[in-house]
């Protein structure tokens, strides 16, 4: 190899080395800049939020929903407490709309909403109730509208829903702060409850009939956390999930210390049903709770979830069954 050939090879090697060094340097700088946010990921196709609903279905929202229809009346107070504003709402007998929701488009009763009205609002998201609205997923999906089913029937689910709604509304930090404050208020009430409380039966009065609550309701969750004993725990479940068919014989056999009446609808309708279906039976007056005046119609908050004010039904029930522990409060 001549001196000229050696010189050419050296020059080529030097050029290759420089090019490799430049490429390596460019890759390193890009990686650092990307990590520091100088080159953010493209927005297209990157979901704003992904979560699983009460039916364990994955809900993927590509952007922050600006128009939300709330069909679950149990979720409505919580939604508004966190700063939400619904484009449309469902209604339910005996349910008071939270402040601000009066102007939202009404799409029907919770058990009979209008699919046509919902679609006409062109929402980015519909928040439904798992029992009533599961059948809406497919028709809403055909219109490109995601449906998130919710079931807010106990303390834990209320707190989790608050965090989820906070994320949907872009108020995650505010929601987490509000949850901690609510949890602290409820803990202060629960900590005052004695070791073992009295027995009770929670009787649900609905337009279609009367039943005894066995599981899966806010009333039972609150009562359980306050250490009350549900006499329906040992009774066989009926056709309707979480309930026992009403029977005066079963009540007399268990003879609970308290009777809690939970009305789905107006209290006036509930009292009429009580008189016609229960008090009309002479055996009703033989119940210990009736004789001792330990029968109470629970406020609508035990049906219509009060969201971040969940401490109110806790306090109501605690003061009712533990008057000495909550004397003067």
Return the domain boundaries, the chain.
49-187, 192-321
Beta-strand relationship, 258-263 and 243-245: unpaired
Architecture in CATH of 49-187: 3-Layer(aba) Sandwich (3.40)
pLDDT at residue number 24: 33
108 dihedral zone (left: phi>0; alpha: psi -120 to 50; beta): left
Contact 128, 147 (CB under 8 A): yes
Q: Cα(64)–Cα(70) distance, rounded to whole angstroms?
A: 16
- Candidates 124, 62, 129; CA nearest to 92 is 129
Q: Cα(245)–Cα(203) distance, rounded to whole angstroms?
A: 10
The whole-number average pLDDT for the span 234-246 is: 89
Q: Give residue-wise pLDDT tens across range 174-216.
A: 999 999 999 999 999 999 998 889 999 999 998 888 999 999 9
Fill in the DSSP letter of residue 283. G
Q: Cα(168)–Cα(162) distance, rounded to whole angstroms?
A: 10
3 state DSSP class of 242: coil
**pLDDT classification of 45: cutoffs 50, 70, 90:** low
Q: What is the pTM of this model?
A: 0.81
CATH code for the structural domain at 192-321? 3.40.50.1980
Q: Which long-range contacts (CB under 8 A, 24 or more apart) does 289-297 make?
A: 289/201, 289/255, 289/256, 289/257, 289/258, 289/259, 290/259, 292/257, 294/257, 294/258, 294/259, 295/258, 295/259, 295/261, 296/258, 296/259, 296/260, 296/261, 296/320, 297/261, 297/263, 297/267, 297/270, 297/271
Q: Give residue-wise pLDDT tens across range 103-142.
A: 999 999 999 999 999 999 999 999 999 999 999 999 999 9
The whole-number average pLDDT for the span 21-29 is: 31
247 dihedral zone (left: phi>0; alpha: psi -120 to 50; beta): beta
Contact 111, 90 (CB under 8 A): no
Instruction: Please check whether the two domains, 49-187 and 192-321, share a CATH topology.
Output: yes
Q: Cα(33)–Cα(127) distance, rounded to whole angstroms?
A: 39
- Candidates 232, 257, 250; CA nearest to 242 is 232
């Amino acid at each position: 190899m001549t001196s000229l050939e050696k010189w050419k090879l050296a020059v080529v090697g030097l050029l290759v080395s420089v090019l490799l060094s430049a490429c390596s340097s460019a890759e390193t700088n890009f990686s650092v800049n990307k990590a520091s946010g100088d080159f953010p990921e493209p927005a297209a196709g990157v979901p704003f939020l992904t979560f699983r609903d009460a039916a364990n279905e994955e809900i993927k929202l590509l952007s922050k929903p600006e128009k939300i229809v709330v069909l679950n009346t149990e979720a409505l107070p919580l939604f508004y407490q966190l700063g939400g504003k619904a484009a449309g709402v469902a209604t339910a007998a005996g349910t008071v709309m939270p402040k601000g929701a009066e102007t939202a488009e009404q799409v029907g009763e919770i058990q009979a909403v209008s699919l046509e009205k919902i679609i006409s609002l062109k929402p980015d998201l519909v928040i439904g109730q798992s029992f009533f609205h599961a059948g809406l997923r497919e028709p809403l999906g055909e219109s490109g509208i995601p449906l998130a089913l919710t079931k807010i029937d106990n303390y834990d689910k209320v707190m989790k829903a608050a965090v989820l709604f906070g994320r949907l509304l872009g108020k995650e930090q505010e929601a987490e702060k509000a949850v901690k404050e609510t949890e602290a208020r409820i803990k202060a009430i629960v900590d005052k409850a004695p070791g073992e409380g009295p027995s009770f039966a929670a009787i649900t009065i609905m337009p279609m009939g009367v039943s005894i609550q066995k599981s899966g309701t806010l009333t039972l969750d609150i009562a359980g956390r306050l250490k009350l004993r549900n006499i329906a725990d040992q009774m066989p479940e009926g056709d309707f999930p979480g309930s026992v068919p009403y029977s005066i014989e079963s009540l007399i056999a268990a003879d609970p210390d308290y009777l809690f009446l939970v009305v789905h609808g107006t209290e006036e309708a509930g009292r009429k049903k009580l008189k016609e279906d229960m008090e009309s039976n002479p055996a009703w007056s033989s119940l210990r709770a009736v004789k001792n005046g330990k029968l109470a119609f629970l406020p609508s908050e035990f049906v219509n979830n009060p969201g971040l004010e969940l401490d109110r039904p806790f306090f109501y029930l605690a003061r009712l069954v533990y008057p000495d522990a909550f004397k003067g409060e």
